[in-house]
Amino acid sequence: MSKMPDSSLITPKALKHLKKRRAADARFRLYGIAAIVFALSALTLLVIAIGTRAYSATTQYVFQAEIMLDADLVAPEGETSEAEITRNIEGFYTLVRDKLFAEFPEASQSQAARQDLSELVNRLAVLSLARRVADNPSLIGKSLEVRVPLSDDLDLYLKGGSPKDVTVRVGSAGTIETDVEGKARISSTSGLSKVTSTRSLLEEGKAMGSVLLAGGKAVARIDSLSPDAAELTLLTGTFEQLANAPLVAHIIPLPEAERPISDQQIAWAIALKQAGNARQVLHTSLVTHTDSTYPELAGTLAAIVGSLLTMMVTACVAIPMGIFAAVYLEEFAPRNRLTNLIEVNINNLAAVPSIVFGLLGASLLLGTFALPRSAPIVGGLVLALLILPVVIIASRASLRSVPPSIRSGALAVGASRMQAVFHHVLPLAAPGMFTGAILGMARALGETAPLLLIGMVAFVAEVPNSATDEATALPVLIYSWASNAERAWEPMTAAAIVILLSLLVIMNVVVVFLRRRFERRW
């Protein structure tokens, strides 16, 4: 070992060649690692992209206030039946709007300002308040703490989404000189120069946005800005409040005309937040509300129920059918052309695009058999046909893993073939069949395209009660939310995806658990 073997094969040329071959080997290995890294980083990117957006939908900004439930407004004709109160949305909305007007008296000065203020809260947002009062009419005439979701644009702004703003601490106002009504001049030392430099950095070459100066419950817009002085227009509150509080400048680079909310509305939002009237609360309506045209009011409840109903139909059809078919093919089928054909057929069906099953549903179930459109029963049947091959293939694999000695043993003591299968083989194969069935159900739960074709994409505002009611499903809801243009739908869609994915994760965890618990090596 100590000395080099004396061989003519080890020439410099051969060594060089060997080095090249080894380098090629290392490169090849690296390609493999790169491929895996690429696939896994795509997965990570997907999870992060959806997770971060969904996170912002876990909370919601609401307008919270103590409101006196005036009987004249809530139940104008003294009628306190449930339906009558729920129908009287206008009355509840007036209550909430009046509260806002009391908070911001400057809004009652002009029609446009009134309009602006009413946009802070959607008319339909009081619906859950109305239902609450309708359930408990004794609340009428009493004072009640209510929470009403703020409009989606405002919610997006307050969460730091859009329009984005940059805040700069200005410090104390220094001197405030009021000249005309609502206008003033301040001269502050260091703070304003910081605002000036930040602003010029943000707006480099682009159209000018606005700068709002907030202190206490007062907010003013800076009309002209220089490093040592600024001219202000009061938007809400008073100059006294501004003078006595530490000031914060909100720089909004996007010009007012290009964003859905005005300076005035932003000012109100800031003031509401300062006063504790705009609160960030857990976004429970995401799972307790049904779909809506307004993102702040929309929820996934109807879609979740629709998906569950669909899955029930699918499970009732596909799981028994699949297991029985597998038992037949694996245990009873004679080897002939017919069973061969069935086998090829099943393998092929497993690879047929899901949309083709949708076409089958649209033409056969809706067209020929005139089953109801958009109903979970049709969706469930289509998905059952879709996952049938998956269930059959998994069940067959599970049956095959039961050793033949079990069958022979049963047959030897006089059981019939049917008894051997149903009393001995099937119980042993059951965990495997069950995991196959759950995986099939997971596939059905995430399937969208066939449901689109049988009309389950309709806007459904009521929770379906039975499998023949009009309904939608969770993945279809995700699709229709994703096709909405408004920015506020983005986090909502991501949140709905997270709900769907968590259901799928639960199903897969059950599968892993079953495998660990019941897996048997023969």
Sites for other proteins among residues 423-452 (CB under 8 A): 442, 445-449, 452
Residue 366 beta carbon to other proteins: minimum distance, rounded to whole angstroms: 9
**Taking CB under 8 A as the criterion, which residues in 169-208 touch other proteins?**
none
Q: For other proteins, which stretch binds (CB under 8 A), given 57-65, 100-108, 494-502, 514-522?
A: 494-502
Strand positions, DSSP E, 266-308: 278-282
Question: Is residue 163 reached through a cis peptide bond, with omega within 30 degrees of 0 on the bond before it?
Answer: yes
Q: Does residue number 373 form part of the binding site for other proteins (CB under 8 A)?
A: yes
For residues 296 and 302, the answer to whether their CB atoms sit within 8 Å is no
Please give the full DSSP string across 4-73, using - where no structure is assigned: ----TT--HHHHHHHHHHHHHHHHHHHHHHHHHHHHHHHHHHHHHHHHHHHHHTSEEEEEEEEEE--HHH
Closest CB to other proteins among 166 and 333? Answer: 333
Cα–Cα distances in angstroms (integers) from residue 272 to residues 63, 88, 383, in the given order: 8, 27, 49
Nearer to other proteins, 10 or 49 (CB): 49
The count of residues interacting with other proteins (CB under 8 A) is 96
Binding status of residue 346 toward other proteins by CB under 8 A: yes
3-class DSSP state of 216: coil
Nearer to other proteins, 282 or 351 (CB): 351
In the sheet with 218-226, reading across from the earlier edge strand, the strands are 166-171, 247-252, 210-215, 218-226, 229-236, 183-187, 175-178
CA distance 215 to 235: 12
**344 touches other proteins by CB under 8 A:** yes
Q: In terms of C-beta distances under 8 Å and separation of at least 24 residues, what long-range contacts does 446-449 make, across chains too?
A: 446/475, 446/500, 446/504, 447/354, 447/383, 447/386, 447/475, 448/473, 448/475, 448/476, 448/478, 448/479, 449/354, 449/355, 449/358
Binder among 428, 482, 510, 514 for other proteins (CB under 8 A): 482
Q: Is 506 in the site for other proteins (CB under 8 A)?
A: no
Give the DSSP H or E segment for 493.
Answer: helix 489-518
**134-142, 284-292, 304-312, 479-487 -> range binding other proteins (CB under 8 A):** 479-487
38 forms part of the interface with other proteins (CB under 8 A): yes
How far apart are the C-alpha atoms of 521 and 230, rounded to whole Å?
80
Please report whether residue 324 would count as binding other proteins according to CB under 8 A.
Answer: yes
Structure-token pair, residue 201: 């950095």
Residue among 87 and 142 whose Cβ is closer to other proteins: 87
In the complex with other proteins, the residue whose CB is nearer, 218 or 385, is 385
Instruction: Report the residue number, 245 or 439, with the smaller CB distance to other proteins.
Output: 439
| Separation of alpha carbons 299 and 287, rounded Å | 5
Question: Within 385-404, which residues bind other proteins (CB under 8 A)?
Answer: 385, 388-389, 392
373/407 with CB nearer other proteins: 373
Six token digits for residue 361: 């549903």
Residue with smaller CB distance to other proteins, 369 or 522: 369
| Number of Cβ within a 10 Å radius of residue 493 | 23
* Binder among 11, 108, 189, 348 for other proteins (CB under 8 A): 348
Part of the chain binding other proteins (CB under 8 A), chosen from 95-103, 234-242, 258-266, 497-505: 497-505
Residue 138: CB atoms within 10 A of its CB come to: 8
- Residues 39 to 68: which contact other proteins by CB under 8 A? 39-40, 42-43, 45-46, 49-50, 53
Please identify, among the stretches 228-236, 278-286, 490-498, 514-522, the one whose residues bind other proteins according to the rule CB under 8 A: 490-498
Dihedrals phi, psi of 179, to nearest 5 degrees? -110, -70
Q: Smaller CB distance to other proteins: residue 26 or 282?
A: 26
Minimal distance in Å, beta carbon 405 to other proteins?
22
Report the residue number, 10 or 43, with the smaller CB distance to other proteins: 43
Residue 438 Cβ vs other proteins, minimum distance, rounded to whole Å: 12
Nearer to other proteins, 119 or 486 (CB): 486
By CB under 8 A, the residues from 70 to 99 that bind other proteins are none
Say whether residue 369 binds other proteins (CB under 8 A). yes
Q: Are 196 and 226 in contact (CB under 8 A)?
A: yes
Residues 6+ apart with CB under 8 A from 312: 376, 380, 467
CA distance 250 to 382: 54
Which listed residue (214, 453, 460, 495) binds other proteins by CB under 8 A?
A: 453
Tokens of 184: 């003033």
352 is a contact residue toward other proteins (CB under 8 A): yes
Choose one: 97-105, 208-216, 260-268, 354-362; the region binding other proteins (CB under 8 A).
354-362
Bridge partners, 175 (sequence order): 187
Q: How far is the CB of 254 from other proteins (least distance, A)?
A: 18
Write out the binding residues for other proteins, residues 260-319 only, by CB under 8 A: none
- Binding other proteins (rule: CB under 8 A), the pick from 14, 112, 275, 341 is 341
